[in-house]
A and B are shown apart, each in its own frame.
Chain A
Amino acid sequence: MHQQPPPREAADALAEIRQRQGQVIERALIPKWFWWAIGLLVVGFSAVVETGDGRALGIGTTAFVLGNCAAVGAVALRGVRRAQPRGTLLGGAGVLMILGFTLGVLVVTTLASFSLNALDVPHSATLSGVVCAALMIGGEPFLTRRLRTTMLDRAARGAR
Chain B
Amino acid sequence: MTEPKFDDLVHAPTRLSIVSLLAAAEWADFKFLRDTVGTSDSALSKQLTTLEDAGYVEIRKHFVGKRPRTSARLTEAGRAAFDGHVAALQEIVARAGATVLPD
Residues in chain A within 8 A of chain B (CB atoms) = 2, 4-8, 10-17, 20-21, 23-25, 81-87, 89, 155-156, 158, 160
A-facing residues in B52-103 (Cβ within 8 Å) = 79, 82-83, 86, 88-90, 92-93, 95-96, 99-102
Known: A2-B6, A82-B28, A83-B28. A10 touches B21 (CB 8 A): no
* Distance in Å: Cβ of B64 to nearest Cβ of chain A: 9
**A84-B25 in contact (CB<8A):** yes
Question: Nearest Cβ in chain B — how far from A106, in angstroms?
Answer: 31
- Compute the total of residue contacts between A and B using a CB distance below 8 Å: 96
Within B13-58, the residues touching A (CB, 8 Å) are 13, 16-17, 20-21, 23-29, 31-32, 36
> By the criterion CB–CB under 8 Å, are A16 and B16 in contact?
yes
In-complex Cβ contact of B89 among A10, A25, A84, A87 (8 A): A10
CA distance A130 to B75 in the complex (A): 47
Knowing that A7-B93, A16-B17 touch, tell me 20 more A-B residue pairs with CB under 8 angstroms.
A2-B6, A5-B89, A6-B92, A7-B95, A10-B92, A10-B100, A14-B86, A14-B102, A16-B20, A20-B21, A25-B24, A83-B25, A83-B29, A84-B26, A84-B28, A85-B25, A85-B26, A86-B25, A156-B86, A158-B82
> B36 touching A23 by the CB < 8 A rule?
yes
Q: Which of B17, B29, B90 contacts A20 (CB 8 A)?
A: B17
Residues of A close to B32: CB separation below 8 A = 82-83
Cα A160 to Cα B24 in complex, Å, equals: 10
The closest CB in chain B to the CB of A84 belongs to B26
B11 lies within 8 A of A13 (CB): yes
Whole-angstrom CA separation of A7 from B93 in the bound complex: 5
Residue numbers of B with Cβ under 8 A of A are: 2, 6, 8, 11, 13, 16-17, 20-21, 23-29, 31-32, 36, 79, 82-83, 86, 88-90, 92-93, 95-96, 99-102
Q: Contacts of A10 on B, CB cut-off 8 Å?
A: 89-90, 92-93, 96, 100
* Known contacts A16-B16, A16-B20, A85-B26; A2 and B100 CB within 8 A of each other: no
CA distance A84 to B29 in the complex (A): 9
Q: For residue A12, which residues in chain B have a CB less than 8 angstroms away from its CB? A: 102
Closest 8 pairs between A and B when the two form their complex, measured CB to CB: A7-B96, A20-B20, A24-B24, A82-B32, A83-B28, A10-B92, A21-B24, A15-B102
Question: Is the Cβ of A81 less than 8 Å from the Cβ of B29?
Answer: yes
With a cutoff of 8 Å between Cβ atoms, the chain B residues found around residue A6 in the complex are: 92
Chain B residue with Cβ nearest A82: B32
Could you tell me the distance between the alpha carbons of A81 and B95 in the complex, rounded to whole angstroms?
41
